[in-house]
Amino acid sequence: MEPDSNQNNVLDAARPKLAQKINILPPELAHRIAAGEVIERPASILKELLENALDAGATVIQIELVKGGCDALRVTDNGAGMEPADVPLAFQRHATSKLTVFDDLYRLRSFGFRGEALPSIAAVARVELTTRPATALGGTTIVAENSRVEELREAGCPVGTTIHVSQIFAAVPARRKFLKSEATEQGACLEAVNRIALASPGVKFRVLNNGRLLWDMPATADAGERIGMVLGRETGSGLLKVKGVRGELTLEGYISRPEITRANAKDIYCFVNGRCIRDALLNHALMTACRNVMAAKRYPAAVLFLTMPSEEVDINVHPAKLEVRFQNPRAIYGLVVETILAGFAAVAPALDDGASPMPATDPGDANLTSQVYQRRLEEAVKRYTLLGGAKKSSYRSGASFSAGSGALFSAAADRRRGRRDDDASAGEGSPSFLGGGERGNLERRHEPGFVSEPTVEAAAPRDPADAPAFPGSEDGSPRRYFASMTYLGQAGGCYLVFSHDHDLILVDQHAAHERILYEELRREGREGRLAVQPLLIPEVATLSPGDYGMLMEHRDLLREAGLEIEPFGGHTVSIRSLPAALGRLAPRTLLEESLAQLTGPTEGLSWGEKRDRVLISLACQGAVKKGQILSEAEAVRLGHDLDRLPFAGTCPHGRPVWIVLTERRLAGLFRRT
């Protein structure tokens, strides 16, 4: 009889274990393993070289990329070069000019030291360094590869240092095959430049890719001006300057006004003593301050500089120094929250009641009373509600349903749907959730004695067998359709109430409309007949270099989703058309939301999966919002549209579209037996 697996495990455990032999790794292998902790992609190399250039006192830095940094990159600076005797030492492990004793690690005021990352880079690529100090007549060139110095010679060159890195990850093929596309790696390199440039406004940066100029950023004495260069003019013009002091802690920077928000946190930059870091404490404090003045799941654009004694922060808890540990996190958390709230409180919005706006006050004014503070904060919230929040329009107020006045869909979309549906022959009197014939009914519904009577049969599915099954009752009753239900009304400005037999059906209007829009965009895109609405005057938008590169890489994908984007010079694009079903929305908002889906975690996603993410985002933006009042005809048409979908149980994000309160459940709630 064969022993079972448990018996085999017991026998294996009883056998003596052979001692494992300990081997010392060869230096070359050890160097490659160590390099893997710091050098993850070409952007990691660029970051280290830029920090070294700044530590050398450079005021002009030029970056040249080949294929987005995937093949090679070159960094040239005009900083203090190295003496000939120090050049080969820069490629030795544990060689530094910044540390003499252990405690110096906790008093660093620089990014690192010249040569700190060079041994790691030389372990995974070929490095050619040419440098010359101001005191020497000539320079020195060194070539290192596979952690070995291959060549050392004199060279003629200007003062400063040029480092050319090629054959990136040639010695580590496993790492190279995980590199992304040229555009993605170029975007990561540009993001590394962004972080350095934001902290160094007095340094001129020039970036080229394959010989083409991507970015020429002049030096400036104003940090706000540099932020506008990096994040875009539109973002820079809507920033508030903030400043707070608590003991030896100083927080300065800029944050976007409450009505200017982002779909993700990629435009939040935090610096500690000039070093860009990712810190959960700072991010949480920032979002706590924004919680009551910005919409849920929206993020500000912010650039914050925290200055503190170097001995109160540990910058050596992460191999790439992207994370830190604070000695007094509570004080820092409080400083961030107070400073941001004071900045919002100092906003002087234009009031809509004709009252004179309050003069802007220095956020650090100690005489700012709590009453004034609260009033200004409420005004900031009010301004967001008026200018940035969801408009809570009532369609019972006689508003027109044209695309320019807030219709849920454009008339073109209704005409397309009318061609597909059998109810097109019902005439102009039939209700239309998308506009069209319903417009006449809405204009009449305010006339004395007019009663809207939706034609339910006209919108029913052609063949009940082709329609999706609606959840039945617990007693196994036949499947039902919204076309056969009675609409009762709207609850809470969000839920549509239907009845069928003795059951109640509650529909989340946003989730339902989002599913309808998503299925329409996906179906028409798949069939190659997605209707688009050309803009009479194309809208021009200025992007950051990273976003521009990402947009150009996915321009065809966005075109499939109905967004036609064309380059307009520099990092500016022209939005020429939108999906017809979303023609009432702001073009720039749709562009920003689409970019947010492409700049998030998209590793491993196919082209179709990325397109679906964009379509889901567009559908969410175009769907009717909570608080919007729907007419009876609109609510009924919404149900009819759900009947036609192949699946309508949840929205594209997975939330339920409806719930059923059966007669038995209702009786239980009221304790009726």
Q: Which two tokens stand for residue 98?
A: 């910044």
Distance CA 571, CA 217 (A): 12
Instruction: State pLDDT tens for residues 128-169.
Output: 999 999 999 899 999 998 878 899 999 989 999 999 999 998
Per-residue pLDDT, 648:
81
* DSSP output for 150-204: EEEEEE---SEEEEEEESTTTT-HHHHTT---HHHHHHHHHHHHHHHHHH-TTSE
Distance CA 54, CA 341 (A): 33
Distance CA 223, CA 163 (A): 28
| The residue type at 50 | L
Q: Which two tokens stand for residue 418?
A: 């009318």
Give start-end residues of each CATH 3.30.565.10 domain in the chain.
27-217
Per-residue pLDDT, 110:
59
Pairing status of strand 313-314 against strand 275-277:
unpaired
Per-residue pLDDT, 411:
35
Distance CA 237, CA 70 (A): 35
CB atoms within 10 A of CB 500: 17
Q: Which residues of the chain have pLDDT under 70?
A: 1-20, 25-38, 94-116, 316-322, 347-480, 600-604, 673
Give start-end residues of each CATH 3.30.230.10 domain in the chain.
223-344
Structural element, H or E, at residue 11: helix 5-14
pTM for the full predicted model:
0.63
CB atoms within 10 A of CB 475: 9
Interior angle at CA 636, CA 631 and CA 637, nearest 5: 100
Which residue is listed with tokens 């400036």? 220
Per-residue pLDDT, 471:
47
Distance CA 72, CA 313 (A): 35
Per-residue pLDDT, 248:
92
Q: Which DSSP state fits 243?
A: E
* DSSP output for 443-475: HHTTSTT------TGGGS-S-GGGSPPPP--TT
Instruction: State pLDDT tens for residues 18-63.
Output: 666 777 766 666 666 666 556 888 999 999 899 889 988 999 999 9
The topology (CATH level 3) of 223-344 is Ribosomal Protein S5; domain 2 (3.30.230)
* CATH fit for domain 27-217, picks 3.40.50.1820, 3.90.1520.10, 3.40.50.800, 3.30.565.10: 3.30.565.10
Interior angle at CA 477, CA 472 and CA 483, nearest 5: 60
Torsion region of 406: left, alpha or beta (phi above 0 gives left; psi -120 to 50 gives alpha): left
Sign of CA dihedral 135, 140, 146, 148: negative
Distance CA 340, CA 243 (A): 8
Per-residue pLDDT, 65:
95
Which three-class secondary structure string do you get for 586-646?
A: CHHHHHHHHHHHHCCCCCCCCHHHHHHHHHHHHHHHHCCCCCCECCHHHHHHHHHHHHHCC
Give Cα 524 distance to the centre of its chain: 27
Distance CA 74, CA 534 (A): 43
Instruction: State pLDDT tens for residues 287-318.
Output: 988 887 887 778 899 999 999 988 888 776 55
The CA distances from residue 52 to 61, 81, 650, in Å, are: 11, 11, 52
Distance CA 518, CA 634 (A): 18
Per-residue pLDDT, 318:
54
